[in-house]
Structure 1
Amino acid sequence: MFGFRLAFEFPGYLWLLIGIPFLWWGSFRALAPLGFFRRWLALFFRTLVLTGLVLALAGVQLVWTSDRVTVMYLLDQSESIPEAKRQLMLDYVIRNVSRHRDVAREDRAGIIVFGREATIEIPPFDDNIPKIRRLESYIGRRDATSLESALVLAQAAMPADTSRRLVIVTDGNENLGDGQKLAARLAESGIGIDVVPIVLESKAEVLVEKVDLPSDIRKGQPFEARVVVNAYTDGEDAPPVQGRLQVTRLNSEASESSGREELLLDQPTTLKSGKNVFSLQDQIDQPAPYTYKARFVPDESFDDGIKENNEASAYTYIRGQGRVLLIEDFSNRGQYDLMAQRLRTANIEVVIRPSDQLFGSLAELQAYDAVILAGVPRVSGDAGDTIVTFDDDKVDMLVRNTQRLGAGLLMIGGPEAFGAGGWTGTKLEEAMPVDFQVKNKKVEAVGALAMIMHACEMAQGNYWQKVIANSALEQLGPVDEAGVLHWNMAGDSWLWGGSNGLLPVGPNKPAMLAAVRRMTPGDMPAFDNSMRMAAASLKRSNASMKHCIIISDGDPSPPTGSTIAAFRDNKITISTVAVAGHGTTGSNRLRDIATQTGGKYYEVRNAKALPRIFQREARRVARPLVYENASGVAPEIVYPHPALEGIDTLLPPITGFVLTQTKNSPLAQVLIRSPLPVEEENSTILAVWNYGLGRTAVLTTDSGGRWAQSWNDWGDYDKFFSQTVRWLMRPTGDTGKFDLATQVRDGQVQVVVSALDKEDAFLNFLDMNASAVGPEMQDIPLQMQQTAPGRYVGSFPADQAGSYFVNISPQAGSAPLTTGVTVPYSEEFRVRDTNQALLDALAKSKPSGGSEGQVTEPLAAESMDDVVGHDAFRTGLALARSMRDAWPWFVFVACCLFLGDVMVRRVAISFDWVGRLFATPGNESQEAPSRLKALQERKQALGESIDRRRAAVRFEPEPEADASSIQGKASAAKDRKDRSDLPKTRPSDAPASLTPQPDAKTYTERLLEAKRRARKDKEE
């Protein structure tokens, strides 16, 4: 049902309507000459004009009201709600809408689901909810409950032209946002809130709260660890919970063979209702990062409702001497043993780890003050099933460890390092003082790569073809050339570049990647034609390194001998990849192609290995980035630096290094440069700079294994590497009297630093530089503020499970304070009881113009009928209003009426026709003569009036006037003529003697008489 009324935005202007009586008082007498009817019509128009303008000034609005109701059901889908309850929610909504929605009133209903985020499952529409079996919307992670996000989305989704009500189905355990505060704002908008509680049915719950470790654990010093376990039971008389408590210690550095995890405690435990604290004595003798884990396993499953909150962990790091992690290529182990030995001699602890046993988390890197990548390519290995790679997450950990946590990072060269090792374009390149891609124009087309794609009979074959092509293109530099050959119904053809097929990657990379996404390789019948096309294009290329990759199942017929010779004669290698091969024949065919051209053969059974293979093969075209000189060149120190203090300016000769490009930044310092090649920006041997809170450096030659063998007997070898590494390392000196503590509370990690000087006096007004890194390597802002003498406090949100790392530089010259905080599970699993207080507060939010909401019975299978009987579409809310400004129309109508007022006053209109409409036919003949007679009389009167006016302006001289008088009068006439040029006056202003006489002769008669008298006087 709809209603209509007027409203005003500025009602104070309505007082101007009291001017209407004054308008009538001033206009009634002034409009009297218009006659009775026209005067009243003009007054009517003027009244309407004034009224319209006043209403426009008051902001008149048209308001429609409606009693239709829109109900949005907000369903909590977080992890704290069991799956059975989620299905029960959906059944309740379907039945409640079908029972209570008023079809005639066209009520609407919709569904919003929420967890950490909220999304619309069914938008509000005027029909019943369809009988769906499960919810289809994706709400992201369910490890948190954000009621606020659901309320915001619901307010935006509901139409404003209906009354609005929310029905929230939840347990009330909100851990993100502030739903109660937002509910108050919704009530001001007239939105009502009903609540359907969810009560968890388990009788008991066990929650491992935390593992508490001392903040200042020292090497070899005994300490006490405590485990806090909270037990929730159903009633005070409930029996205690029986189970086992296990505590383990994980050493992140220990090898898997020696055992990283140690069992410290495993004993039967009885939990009383409430908090239970267990103590554990321990001692750590080896510096390393450690993770303590505590887990409770109940004897009976019904004693614990949620398994995710049965485990907690804590992180600590025992710091010893300066420690360095050296990562080497697993396929070339032992090349850097000499350097590691010399560093240990200089009291630097070195841990060597091969590239196939990399760190798994940022926590492991906290045990090291610097990381050395010793000639490591990004992709290592030769066999398809043993290829390993530094994925983006590992690279990101290395960079964050330096930029945010202050560790050093050193890259050492080799034949497969820097740009030659596939590191171009990564975040690691951004962290280094040099660019890995050479931009010198003298080094053009350093590599050319042709890829031949054959539609293989493997699962998702076309998908993997595109993935591997993208992986290969990503490895190439901007000046490298690339081309893709595929077969379609028209035969073998290049995917881009026309007949040439090869184009530089730099300016064409976006178009190349787009073409690869559209590519659909066909089942080519023979290798020969496509290989001849590849050989011809690679031969025409000016690249220094030329390579071809073939991916196939081996089914096409083999190439001819002349085609193989074309590759061999032009020094073009071919690597082949057999995927879903057709038996021994197909594999042998591909193996022969690779062997005859000097390439490699890969046999792949898992398509996921394909991208790594193509990354490995794409590196071959980057080999020209390596500069080698058999006669040797002697590097020279060109910039003094603490890392080179006491070292001779001229270093022993080296026979090779990797070409790089010095970054265009004043922060990048080139310390050692080679005399060859002559381009200084490409001949860097050692460069350093500060990157974030840490330092990075590059040594483009090796440490003595291949290119720098003369350095092995160099007297300053130990000094050179030890000083360089020490300059990079995170400061490991005495941290002074700074105490760092952390705790997790209410979804926040609180960091507290206590600062004292040598005399135990408080250190105040310190400008601490602090940073934190989250579980997903994201930067988290952290600002420390002084809250008391010598006490500094900061906090940041911990809304994700995982390890958070905090690094604080308390003051200049002090070693950084580093710690880790582990959040084992989301706050979603910390609370077990229904938050009835929040649910009641939501329902009591009284909407503007309506009544408070209601809290139903808890939703359960046995009480479903009672909950469904709750009418969510009831009245009790303010009627919905739709409002539209109407003042422009009132102004327009007032302007039109003003024109009507002008017309009534200026245009005389006869309304005699109104009388004729009511006259009888007999009276018409009698009234016509009388009207004609009246017109004739009126005409005669007007004629007489005109004659009198004409006579009134005549003038005749007196009869007795003589000639002299005539002359005088003529002179007077001349004077009157002269005066006629002056401004005219009204007749009433003329002299009395000139007033014409009614009985006098005419002017002509008097003039003739005067002439006769003049003639007579002349004769006499």
Structure 2
Amino acid sequence: MLSFSQPIVLTLLVLLPISALIAWPRLLTRRRAAGSRPGGPWRLNKHALSALVVRWALLTSLIFALAGLQAVQFTNKLAVVFAIDASDSVGPSGVEQAAQFVREALRSMRTDGNDEAAVIVFGADAQIERAMSSMRDLAPMGAQVRSAGTNVEGAIRLSLSLFPADAAKRIVLLSDGQQTVGDAEAAARLARAADIRLDVVVLPSVQGPDAAIERIDAPQQASVGQIIPLQIVVRSNQAMRAQLTVFSGPDIVAQEVVNLTPGLNAFNVRANATRTGFSAFRVQISPERDVRPQNNALVSSVIVGGPPRILLVSVPPAFSSSGVDEVGALKAALSAIGIEYDQVSPRAMPSEIQSLAGYQAVVLANVPARELSLRAMYSLQSYVRDVGGGLVVIGGPNSYGVGGYFKTPLEETLPVEMQVKDPKRFPSVSIVVVMDKSGSMSAIENGVTKMRLAAEAAARVAELVNEDDEVTVIGFDTELVDLIGPFLGRDKNKYINQILSIAPGGGGIYVYESLLEAQKIIAKSTKLSKFIILLADGNDAERQEGVPELVRKMRDEYNTTLSVVAFGDGSDIPFLKRIAAIGKGRYHFTDKAANLPTIFTEEAALAQRSYIVEQRFFPRLGMSHPILSGINEVPALQGYIASTAKPAAQVILRANESDPLLAVWQYGLGRAVAFTSDATGRWAKNWVRWGDFPKFWAQAIRWTILDRGQSSIQVNVQQRDEQTVIVAEVPESQIATDLKLMATVIESDGQARELALMQTAPGRYEAETYLDQAGAYFVRVAPSHTAASPPVAGLSETIVAYVRPYSPEYAQVEGGEENLRDWALLGGGEVLTSPAQAFALNAPVAASRTDLFPLLLALAALLLPFDVGVRRITVSLRRLLGLSGEKLAPAGSLESSGRMDQLFRAKTRVTREPVPQIMPRRPAQTPLASPPAAAEAQVPSPQQAAATASELLRRRRQRAQAEDDAKATGGEQA
């Protein structure tokens, strides 16, 4: 069977009759008598007919080639793509049911190789689980998709790309029919238009009792002290009891047990607006039985106006090693000047940026980095940089460098660096890090091995030391495995990668042998101070005999300090505490490997000892600043933590010529203040009694609180399917041709992503992003300033809160089976009830198609010289077949074969017969050497001359007659 891919081109076949009409005068001719006009009967010009036939063949080949002539051969080959819904609404049991259906269907494939199958898995996105293959089994599924949504359209479109061209095609969609994104109907129509049958298999949705928070109705703005009414709507599919809890940040503002009835249930809760700024109210329902916990919580945001409120973070005196209340004097000063505050411990500090945003500033007082989670530090960094909050860090013996701030988000946020870059002021030290690399260190924590975190901690020690300091890293289990160093601080870059590559071993750590190796290094060192950091498993520290004596010997003979980091609780903890006390070092316990880098940097800073400067001094003025407004003199201090001011920092007060005491800077949208002394009677006993003490801290804190006013950029955030759309509108009076807007989306853990907004209309800009977690977000939109596009007056950043609801995947939706039937009807299929139906031969008939385009072009190329030759050259077919050696003549100068024979004979006679010539009489001369007879023969007689003239006249007439005949023949052909 033949078909055309571009049948419209066949209209060019009209050229064939047109060419015949043009050639008609040459096809029929009349014979005429010699010397007369044309007459007689019409006859067919065979030469012109053959030329026309060749021309038709050439044109037909070209037209068929352009029309895409194909040879079609029907086949019974069948290709099936199974699309398995792996979204949360189907659940693991539904996915397993779908996989079992596919396995049974594959067993019904024909064994002759004419059937093939592929498998894809989809949720909010789609992945190929198995490519098209004739294998009759299905391996355990491993494709990972976003299960918080269902995109049927994406699954169908991915299926379309997997089919071979020469097979009947079928898509088997296995789903519960609850799509949350995309247009499945459009995809079903597309499949049918491509001759692909769409069949469906109904999967059950997750069944059981379910209660979901439908919505929270709350005002957008409120004032401090105002009662905020919250209306909470809960949907339940059964009658049940549940506990309803309302959170404002970390605090519970309402909690009660409620009775739910099938359908919608409304509850009214009154919450008190106790703090200014952004307040996120999180509502949680806890039913007795529930199959979808993802829809049990929802967040609503309220902007609360009023006086500023700050958050004080400090270690309670009961848990502090010194027993000092770090914020007692500060709280009294804040109360005296009317600044409201909340106080929390470091571990209770909110780790979500939405909770931090409820405060205008955060104050950390002598807080070690190990007491803060990494997430809390990232949130604090984003709170200052992206939201515009204020940060004040007050020093103490557990803060800054000796508090483990080195290379943390907290150091990046502050205007000072933890490393002191003046090595001359420090005595050089030798530090030996002894690390347990037993088998327990191969455990995974947050996707990273514990050994990797320990190696990173040792690498930070090497990075923190000064150029003349000496570092050695020992990796030990039951024997010495890794020995890196000793090396000087100036050469640390050569050894960092070696330290980071230390891998876990086996068994436990032999404490005595490992410290014996450390002693060998210490004994050879010429440094005045020696320091050992021992990392040991709290439950697997073996070979303890002789260790106390060895530690005491190193302390007394080599001036060596030993600090111990116990990793994990266990029976060996008392022993590790004891040897730390003998070594006059510090004992640390941690059950999180993520704390090791901060602990190690603390110990490295303490090993250098000069980081803590305890001596009386009077602060020196570095520069005038609003923080010192109205303050002309300050009392003496007794100590501080040495640090280095960053190049962009403003140093207001100095402890000496090089060390900053009070430094500030602008960090992103917010401001940060670093005070390297403390606010207690430890170092600041004169300041606590100072009359301007409350004024100083009030001005320092208020400097970090910015009043940004109102921006003319209006920002709206909305949800379109699974995409979050940010829409910014600029007033017409402030529209600039080169205006560029950037959006920053700040997640709850402080992570930020930047998006460029594209202009979609005059003054309207949009950007899309995917937020995979439900909850509260901050969205900041600000103009992007460059040298080519200066800032536009009146346009500043705008920050809005956005609450992303949980995905529609977790909503209680009915009608999924009806959706599947509609999609199957649009796709020309049906609902399958048996796995064997998947390979039934009822899909649209498939055919293999072979393009004849190259053959037709080759044929046209072969016909082209024949088309030219048949019009320019004519050959007598009889002579070509019967006689050899005859010459060819121009096609327009010859007639039929009979006339051609006459002309050939006439020409031959004229050429071969001698023509008599009349020779003039020669004068008398000397006889030649030739015979006399020959000389006489050269002179014709009168009779011969007359005969010659008659013959010449006769032949002239014959030649004229032949020329007339030839002309007549040429005219008839024309």
Aligned to 1:77: 86
SS at 2:830's partner residue? coil
Q: Is the 8 A contact 2:619 2:653 kept in 1?
A: yes
2:112 equivalent to 1:126: no
Q: Once the 2 structures are TM-superposed, how far is the Cα of residue 378 of structure 1 from its aligned partner?
A: 1.0
- The correspondence for 1:193, drawn from 195, 198, 205, is 198
2:491 equivalent to 1:509: no
Q: Once the 2 structures are TM-superposed, how far is the Cα of residue 324 of structure 1 from its aligned partner?
A: 1.2
The structure-2 alpha-carbon separation of the partners of 1:455 and 1:417, relative to structure 1 and needing over 3 Å to count, comes to: closer
- The correspondence for 2:820, drawn from 821, 839, 847, is 839
2:116 equivalent to 1:108: yes
Aligned to 2:807: 826
Q: Once the 2 structures are TM-superposed, how far is the Cα of residue 726 of structure 1 from its aligned partner?
A: 0.5
Q: Tell me how far apart the structure 1 counterparts of residues 103 and 192 of structure 2 sit (CA, whole Å).
A: 26
Aligned to 1:322: 308
Q: Once the 2 structures are TM-superposed, how far is the Cα of residue 842 of structure 1 from its aligned partner?
A: 2.6
Aligned to 1:336: 327
Per-residue Cα deviation, 1:224-259 (whole angstroms, up to 9, x for no partner): 432223355xxxxxxxx54446443435465xxxxx
Residue pairs, 1:845-864, within 5 angstroms:
845-846=826-827, 852-856=828-832
The structure-2 alpha-carbon separation of the partners of 1:599 and 1:494, relative to structure 1 and needing over 3 Å to count, comes to: same
Aligned to 2:626: 642
Residue 801 of structure 1 aligns to which amino acid in structure 2? A
SS at 2:585's partner residue? coil
Aligned to 1:91: 100
2:846 equivalent to 1:879: yes
Aligned to 2:561: 573
State the percentage of identical aligned residues: 24
Q: Once the 2 structures are TM-superposed, how far is the Cα of residue 407 of structure 1 from its aligned partner?
A: 1.5
Q: Tell me how far apart the structure 1 counterparts of residues 498 and 849 of structure 2 sit (CA, whole Å).
A: 51
Q: Is the 8 A contact 2:616 2:638 kept in 1?
A: yes
Aligned to 2:704: 728
Q: Is the 8 A contact 1:479 1:505 kept in 2?
A: no
The structure-2 alpha-carbon separation of the partners of 1:53 and 1:797, relative to structure 1 and needing over 3 Å to count, comes to: closer
Residue 775 of structure 2 aligns to which amino acid in structure 1? G
2:463 equivalent to 1:477: yes
Q: Once the 2 structures are TM-superposed, how far is the Cα of residue 171 of structure 1 from its aligned partner?
A: 2.0
Q: Is the 8 A contact 1:424 1:436 kept in 2?
A: yes
Residue pairs, 1:522-561, within 5 angstroms:
527-528=512-513, 531-532=516-517, 535-536=520-521, 540=525, 546-551=531-536, 553-556=540-543, 558=546
Q: Tell me how far apart the structure 2 counterparts of residues 578 and 737 of structure 1 sit (CA, whole Å).
A: 56
Q: Tell me how far apart the structure 1 counterparts of residues 718 and 373 of structure 2 sit (CA, whole Å).
A: 32
2:202 equivalent to 1:213: no
2:344 equivalent to 1:356: no
Aligned to 2:34: none
Q: Once the 2 structures are TM-superposed, how far is the Cα of residue 833 of structure 1 from its aligned partner?
A: 0.8
Q: Tell me how far apart the structure 2 counterparts of residues 305 and 523 of structure 1 sit (CA, whole Å).
A: 45
Q: Tell me how far apart the structure 2 counterparts of residues 622 and 368 of structure 1 sit (CA, whole Å).
A: 32
2:475 equivalent to 1:486: yes
Per-residue Cα deviation, 1:262-312 (whole angstroms, up to 9, x for no partner): 43x43545x3x65443444565667795635363747xx6xx765654555
2:586 equivalent to 1:619: no
Q: Tell me how far apart the structure 2 counterparts of residues 448 and 93 of structure 1 sit (CA, whole Å).
A: 66
Q: Is the 8 A contact 2:4 2:67 kept in 1?
A: no
Q: Tell me how far apart the structure 2 counterparts of residues 674 and 763 of structure 1 sit (CA, whole Å).
A: 53
Residue 399 of structure 1 aligns to which amino acid in structure 2? Q
Aligned to 1:413: 395
The structure-2 alpha-carbon separation of the partners of 1:150 and 1:567, relative to structure 1 and needing over 3 Å to count, comes to: farther
Q: Once the 2 structures are TM-superposed, how far is the Cα of residue 728 of structure 1 from its aligned partner?
A: 0.7
Q: Is the 8 A contact 1:526 1:558 kept in 2?
A: no
The structure-2 alpha-carbon separation of the partners of 1:836 and 1:454, relative to structure 1 and needing over 3 Å to count, comes to: closer
SS at 1:325's partner residue? strand
Aligned to 1:702: 678
Residue 561 of structure 2 aligns to which amino acid in structure 1? T
Q: Tell me how far apart the structure 2 counterparts of residues 211 and 468 of structure 1 sit (CA, whole Å).
A: 46
Residue pairs, 1:297-308, within 5 angstroms:
297=287, 306=292
Q: Once the 2 structures are TM-superposed, how far is the Cα of residue 401 of structure 1 from its aligned partner?
A: 1.9
Q: Tell me how far apart the structure 1 counterparts of residues 560 and 597 of structure 2 sit (CA, whole Å).
A: 17
SS at 2:174's partner residue? strand
SS at 2:463's partner residue? coil
Residue 459 of structure 2 aligns to which amino acid in structure 1? L
Q: Tell me how far apart the structure 1 counterparts of residues 816 and 62 of structure 2 sit (CA, whole Å).
A: 57
Q: Tell me how far apart the structure 2 counterparts of residues 599 and 95 of structure 1 sit (CA, whole Å).
A: 68
The structure-2 alpha-carbon separation of the partners of 1:318 and 1:794, relative to structure 1 and needing over 3 Å to count, comes to: farther
Q: Is the 8 A contact 2:475 2:483 kept in 1?
A: yes
Residue 277 of structure 1 aligns to which amino acid in structure 2? A
The structure-2 alpha-carbon separation of the partners of 1:844 and 1:564, relative to structure 1 and needing over 3 Å to count, comes to: same
Q: Is the 8 A contact 2:366 2:399 kept in 1?
A: yes
Q: Tell me how far apart the structure 1 counterparts of residues 291 and 411 of structure 2 sit (CA, whole Å).
A: 49
Q: Once the 2 structures are TM-superposed, how far is the Cα of residue 334 of structure 1 from its aligned partner?
A: 1.0
Q: Tell me how far apart the structure 2 counterparts of residues 591 and 578 of structure 1 sit (CA, whole Å).
A: 9
Residue pairs, 1:418-429, within 5 angstroms:
418-429=400-411
Q: Tell me how far apart the structure 2 counterparts of residues 542 and 746 of structure 1 sit (CA, whole Å).
A: 66
Q: Once the 2 structures are TM-superposed, how far is the Cα of residue 107 of structure 1 from its aligned partner?
A: 1.1
The structure-2 alpha-carbon separation of the partners of 1:750 and 1:226, relative to structure 1 and needing over 3 Å to count, comes to: farther
Per-residue Cα deviation, 1:187-208 (whole angstroms, up to 9, x for no partner): 4444332222345596986543
- The correspondence for 1:659, drawn from 643, 650, 673, is 643
- The correspondence for 2:245, drawn from 245, 248, 262, is 248
Aligned to 2:505: 520
Residue 293 of structure 1 aligns to which amino acid in structure 2? V
Q: Which runs of 5+ in 2 are unaligned?
A: 28-47, 784-792, 884-907, 927-934, 941-974
The structure-2 alpha-carbon separation of the partners of 1:799 and 1:457, relative to structure 1 and needing over 3 Å to count, comes to: closer
Q: Is the 8 A contact 2:406 2:598 kept in 1?
A: no
- The correspondence for 2:169, drawn from 144, 155, 164, is 164
Q: Tell me how far apart the structure 1 counterparts of residues 856 and 526 of structure 2 sit (CA, whole Å).
A: 79
Q: Tell me how far apart the structure 2 counterparts of residues 494 and 51 of structure 1 sit (CA, whole Å).
A: 83
Aligned to 2:903: none
Q: Is the 8 A contact 1:200 1:833 kept in 2?
A: no
SS at 1:468's partner residue? helix
> Aligned-pair RMSD on alpha carbons?
6.0
2:341 equivalent to 1:374: no
Residue 839 of structure 1 aligns to which amino acid in structure 2? L
Q: Is the 8 A contact 1:199 1:834 kept in 2?
A: no
- The correspondence for 1:228, drawn from 229, 233, 238, is 233
Q: Tell me how far apart the structure 1 counterparts of residues 498 and 670 of structure 2 sit (CA, whole Å).
A: 38
Aligned to 2:938: 999
SS at 2:384's partner residue? helix
Residue pairs, 1:958-973, within 5 angstroms:
960=923
Q: Is the 8 A contact 1:198 1:834 kept in 2?
A: no
Q: Is the 8 A contact 2:401 2:611 kept in 1?
A: no
Q: Is the 8 A contact 1:115 1:145 kept in 2?
A: yes
SS at 1:477's partner residue? helix
Residue 808 of structure 2 aligns to which amino acid in structure 1? E
Q: Tell me how far apart the structure 1 counterparts of residues 865 and 605 of structure 2 sit (CA, whole Å).
A: 86
Q: Tell me how far apart the structure 2 counterparts of residues 175 and 574 of structure 1 sit (CA, whole Å).
A: 60
Residue pairs, 1:419-498, within 5 angstroms:
419-438=401-420, 449-454=431-436, 456=438, 458=440, 460=442, 464-474=450-460, 477=463, 483-486=472-475, 492=480, 494-496=482-484
Residue 486 of structure 1 aligns to which amino acid in structure 2? G
